[in-house]
Amino acid sequence: MYHNKKITVFSHLLVWFVLFSMPYVLSYGQDQEIMRVFAHFWIPLFFYAIVFYLNYSILIDRYLFSNNTLLFVGINVALISFFLLLREQLESNYFQELARKVPTENEGSGPPFKMFIYIQMLSYMAPLLFAIAIKTTQRWVKTEAESKEAANFKLQSELQHLHYQLQPHFFFNSLNNIYSLVDISPDQAKTSIHSLSKLMRYMLYETNMEKVTLSKEIEFMKKYIDLMKLRVSDKTSVKYSFPSENTGIQIAPLLFISLIENAFKHGVSASKESLIDIAMRCEGQTVLFTIANDNFPKKIADKSGSGIGLQNLEKRLKLLYPNQYTFTNKVLDNRFLVNLTIETG
């Protein structure tokens, strides 16, 4: 902000320096009387500067932007009229010698008095309109910046809310899975709790950033899949394929975990054979993620499939990757198919 103020002050000084130097620049190589320059150029420029800065600093904000347009116009008409009379008085009382040097044959050939006053009034309109243009532009830029800041704050707040919503949802589902193992296989339950602690450590301490490396996210998903495989029977086959090399892709954390959760919640049966097939590949900066699983819809009384995860995912995708993703899901031949493509570049 301080740097911007310095640039603004320097710009104003430069503009007025150029304007006050114009008489010498335009009459380069000719004799120039300092008093004539003072009377006909510098005094009007000084008055223009007063009109400009008085409007720029006080009048526009206080009256024009406050819908007191008539008062704003009245003050400026009075101000310009005062400067016109003052200039006339200064030229009459202090610059009589310049008037005497005007050739007599030019007398009466100038514009009529009313036209002269009209031209003078128009000349004072230039700094006034320039001040209005600058203040209006500044106000528009400030409004746009505030609007973007408010939108960004709202976006961050909503994303944070969704992030915090996902953590207890994930934790709750994982605990339900471990609970089901306690009586059946206590050793597996202990292993699951240990694995869950590692997963929660990642969720709590490494996903607070806007983006993480895709390789970290893949490692997290592999650990979660291995945890889920502990609770499924031998009738369930789980296959997964992820990029093995470091792609260098940065991505928003925890985007895919809801889809994997959903596959284990709705794609596994205790009595029937089932297959979960998870695959991810990268094409440049584009991530393509697919899941195919058997479709075993939960009963209405079963609250383990509340649907929060998928709703959360779609909201986050809209906020984080607008116009940069495609997300489709459908049931085909009793298989639930999910495709998610994200352009990260």
3-state SS string for the chain: CHHHHHHHHHHHHHHHHHHHHHHHHHCCCCCCCHHHHHHHHHHHHHHHHHHHHHHHHHHHHHHHCCCCHHHHHHHHHHHHHHHHHHHHHHHHHHCHHHHHCCCHHHCCCCCCHHHHHHHHHHHHHHHHHHHHHHHHHHHHHHHHHHHHHHHHHHHHHHHHHHHHHHHHHHHHHHHHHHHHHHCCCHHHHHHHHHHHHHHHHHHHHCCCCCCEEHHHHHHHHHHHHHHHHCCCCCCEEEEEECCCCCCCCEECCCCCHHHHHHHHHHCCCCCCCEEEEEEEEEECCEEEEEEEEECCCCCCCCCCCCCHHHHHHHHHHHHHCCCCEEEEEEEECCEEEEEEEEECC
pLDDT surpassing 60 at residue 2: no
The per-residue pLDDT for 114 is: 59
Q: Is the pLDDT of residue 171 over 80?
A: no
pLDDT score of 45:
85
User: Whole-number mean pLDDT of the chain?
Assistant: 79
Give 130-139 pLDDT, tens digit per residue.
889 989 998 8
Q: Tell me what pLDDT residue 336 has.
A: 92
Position 185 scores a pLDDT of 74
pLDDT at 292: 94
Q: Which of the two residues, 111 and 205, has the higher pLDDT score?
A: 205
Instruction: Decide which of 174 and 56 is more confident.
Output: 56
pTM: 0.54
Interval 205-219: pLDDT, tens:
777 788 889 999 899
Q: What is the pLDDT of residues 232-246, one digit of tens each?
A: 788 889 999 999 888
Per-residue pLDDT at 104: 44
Residue ranges and CATH numbers for the domains of the chain are 2-148 (no CATH), 157-343 (3.30.565.10)
139-165 pLDDT, tens digit each: 898 888 877 776 766 666 665 655 555
Tens digits of residue pLDDT in 25-61: 655 555 556 556 566 677 888 888 899 999 999 999 8
For the chain, what percent of residues have pLDDT higher than 70?
74
